[in-house]
Amino acid sequence: MRILLLGIAVTCAVICGCSFRDFLSYREDTGLYVIDRPDGFNNARFGTEIAATSTAERDLISVSAGPGHAAAVFLVAENGRLEDVNAPSDMLKITGGEGTSDITAGTAGATLVGLPTWGRGLHGCLAIGEPGKPAVSIKCGDQNSMGEAVHVISQTGAAGFGRLLAGVRPVGAEPWLLAVASAQDVWVYSDHESPEENRTDVFSPGTGETITALAAGRYDGHIMVAVADASGVYLFVQQYPNAKQMILALCLESPNTATTGINATLADLNGDNVDELLLAYAGPDPAQTEAVYVYDVADLIPLHALPPDPPTECVSPAPLATLASATNPDIPAMSGFGTAVVVGDIATDDSGPEIIVGAPLDRVSGKKEAGSVLIFRGAEVFNGEIAVAGRVTDSTPSGGHRFGGGLAVAPMAGRNELVVGAVGKGQVFIAYCTGVGTDLTQGADTTTNGQGKVISTRCRLQKQSKAERP
């Protein structure tokens, strides 16, 4: 297992700004980390699952290759400063790889979720889905080692329990919550001391179809869960805070013909305390199916007007925005666009979150399936038209590396940074130069200490025009 810090000479970054095409660094406190595939993962697609979390003193990245490969946990920062390879060995513990004792029925590490807090006094936690047991293990970074689970959650009779996970951000000082899907049901767990007894039941859609996507978020202080299967997309909401059951508040007909490669995300794009719903489809026929649709949940389910009874029919409302090559020529066609989607605030010149979408099959500089990541400003979805704010690729793209096959936004030394899995190569890139600023004359953003000394710098990146795309 190696973590390499790559120093890249970037005279242009100082003089004329830098492009979304490259990861560039010009201070020693920033840079590009590459996490290589650890021993035991062999040729697995390391970087498919990525989760980020933090303790009071250190930031953590966890990476999995998907079912059967569990997770490797990496220490990235300590006391606000980025660290190189000399990290404590107990924080670099591989919790499972091919042939290790942690693997049960070849499914450990099927999905990962970072939980910054879990119950009382536990910080920097990680949930690891192990549907072969079936179970979910929760491990916390402020323990002596990530190797010991503080809790193993199971659900009797729930086949495939742990195959999909989603974290629910807290309201105020509350701890994070964890949504867990089995093949056809969902539960939301809280309270690290007895999570099985402190759960919220999410009524199953009852369609008999296998759940293909799961997201969890907030609806005006209530928990909200989105569940997708082949028959549609279902939004469940608590009737009142702390309720132990959730009701079906809305059924959406699928806006896409794809039945596989579906991702769901719930995130607040405009600060109204109600998350927007993002549905991404990167199915087997990318020429027709790959797209990301954004819906205004506050409009579909008006505040304080939850339906008294579950809906009997699904509806097909128009989305706020559709991100697809068919409607935006700056989005590459047949690129696997939507394979991975994450929402996070990485911009240097606004206060809103960005929508970040992986396109791991994108051709870059003539290299087939080199892969790219496209960035959109979240607030623009309410304007009816959303443009590509930037495009991120490996600075030395290689065919088949599938950069963008996994994504996360991670807190790194007080900043949000982009983490990208190049799943074909089995590498994970942590980039400290992916803000979305557009004014090249302003150079870089800087952070200073109390004496005014520059302690870190992040590039201000160029908005890419259509003509710049390779």
The whole-number pLDDT of residue 350 equals 63
Question: Any idea which of 65-69, 135-139, 329-333, 376-380 has the lowest mean pLDDT?
Answer: 65-69
What's the CA gap between 255 and 314, in Å, rounded? 11
Per-residue pLDDT at 165 exceeds 90: yes
Of 57 and 444, the one with more pLDDT: 57
DSSP H/E element including 420: strand 415-422
The whole-number pLDDT of residue 371 equals 93
The whole-number pLDDT of residue 332 equals 93
Of all residues in the chain, the percent with pLDDT exceeding 70 is 74
Measured from the Cβ of residue 291, the count of other Cβ atoms closer than 10 Å reads 26
**466: helix, coil or strand?**
helix
pLDDT digits (tens, 9 = 90+) for 120-151: 778 888 898 988 888 998 888 766 556 677 88
Question: Any idea which of 166-175, 232-241, 356-365 has the lowest mean pLDDT?
Answer: 166-175
What's the CA gap between 188 and 236, in Å, rounded? 11
Place of tokens 């978020």: 217
Q: Which long-range contacts (CB under 8 A, 24 or more apart) does 297-303 make?
A: 297/219, 297/224, 297/235, 297/250, 297/266, 298/272, 298/274, 300/235, 300/250, 300/252, 301/219, 301/235, 301/237, 301/249, 301/250, 303/220, 303/274
Q: Which whole number is the average pLDDT over 159-186?
A: 89
Cα-based torsion angle of the residue sequence 202, 204, 209, 210 in order, rounded to the nearest 10 degrees: 30
Query: Residue 229: CB partners within 8 Å, gap ≥ 6?
Result: 184, 205, 207, 209, 210, 211, 212
Of 296 and 453, the one with more pLDDT: 296
CB hemisphere CA count around 60 (13 angstroms): 32
Among the listed residues 187, 165, 162, 157, the one whose alpha carbon sits nearest the alpha carbon of residue 105:
162
- pTM for the whole structure: 0.84
The whole-number pLDDT of residue 217 equals 95
pLDDT digits (tens, 9 = 90+) for 205-254: 888 899 999 999 999 888 999 999 988 999 999 887 777 888 899 999 99
Q: Which whole number is the average pLDDT over 419-445?
A: 63
